[in-house]
Amino acid sequence: MLSPGYSISPQDLWNAIATQMAPQIIDVRRHDAFEESPHLLPGALWRDAGKAEQWEHDFDPTRPIIAACKAGHEMSQATVAQLRADGIDARVLEGGYEGWTKAGLPFVAKMELERIAPRRPSIWVTRRRPKIDRIACPWLIRRFLDPQARIMFVDPDQVNNVARESGGVPFDIKDVELSHVGERCSFDTMLQLFGLEGEPSLARLALIVRGADTARPDIAAEAAGLHAVSLGLSALAGDDDHGLLKRGFVVYDALFAWLRFAAEERHNWPAKAA
């Protein structure tokens, strides 16, 4: 839950990403600045700042909106003022994109995302009955690339056909760009391609996913646990791929939160007095 306020710091916004009530990030840079920039805030969607009344109802009214412009000045201020006048919980990103850069926080490689998935909402197609990589990749897509993305699960031999017919992006099958490369998983490939592999917690999460997905539990102590939980969830879900996706996202949100906020915490018995 975000604390009340008219603005939010870059670090507080980063800490809120991939949490239960993660805010919705709206990029309100001027269109020419947006087009020229190689960077995109994780999960951000571009909207015209001057037309907030036309798009404000496209977003979840129960979650805050964060408006981000170049430096946190007139574009985001005007957007937030309009949204708040309409009763929407909206905040300005302090310093905008410049503030995010100064804080050393990760960006998505915008040009690669637009090359691979130019339409919004984007469509992503993979094999049905996901287990590990095909849960991790949709989690990365929804949390960092396109929160409104549609994930489609089909028979393995129909992935490319459905992707072609739907205008979607095939992933985690042979002979496509977003797939395994050597010993690295599709999750690794996406992190590298979209410029996120340098973020320490995501890099560590990739190691856990890789160990669980490629039967190498020795490369990360948590990999065996992720493997067991993932197969257990799959057994419970049966053919309900999207129900499995919903439950699996909780697992990846929790792993990501542990890596960012609780990885150094230790538990002992008997418990020590507080």
Of 196, 193, 214, 194, the residue nearest 204 (C-alpha): 196
pLDDT for the residue 51: 96
Contacts of 12 (CB under 8 A, 6+ apart): 2, 3
Position 272 confidence tier, pLDDT thresholds 50, 70, 90: confident
pLDDT tens for residues 119-139? Answer: 999 999 999 999 999 999 999
Beta carbons of 236 and 129 less than 8 angstroms apart:
no
pLDDT for the residue 3: 76
Q: Has residue 188 got a pLDDT over 90?
A: yes
Beta bridge partners of 36: none
Strands across the sheet containing 24-27: 7-8, 90-93, 65-68, 24-27, 45-46
CA distance 189 to 234: 24
Helices (H) and strands (E) in the chain, counts: 12, 10
pLDDT for the residue 256: 97
Average per-residue pLDDT for the chain: 95
Beta bridge partners of 126: 153
pLDDT tens for residues 159-171? Answer: 999 999 999 999 9
pLDDT for the residue 270: 79
Cβ burial of 136 (10 Å; 0-12, 13-18, 19+) is buried
Between strands 39-40 and 108-109, the pairing is: antiparallel
pLDDT for the residue 2: 77
pLDDT for the residue 273: 64
241-257 and 223-237 helices cross at what angle (nearest 10)? Answer: 160
Q: Has residue 100 got a pLDDT over 80?
A: yes
Q: Within its chain, how far is the Cα of 129 from the centroid? A: 21
pLDDT tens for residues 213-263? Answer: 999 999 999 999 999 999 999 999 999 999 999 999 999 999 999 999 998
pTM for this entry: 0.95
pLDDT tens for residues 189-208? Answer: 999 999 999 999 999 999 99
- The domain segmentation of the chain, as residue ranges, is 7-105, 110-262
Beta carbons of 185 and 214 less than 8 angstroms apart:
yes
pLDDT tens for residues 38-95? Answer: 999 999 999 999 999 999 999 999 999 999 999 999 999 999 999 999 999 999 999 9
Provide the b/e sequence for 217-234 (b: ≥16 CB within 10 Å).
beebebbeebbebbeebb
What would be the CATH architecture of the domain defined by 7-105? 3-Layer(aba) Sandwich (3.40)
Q: Has residue 274 got a pLDDT over 80?
A: no
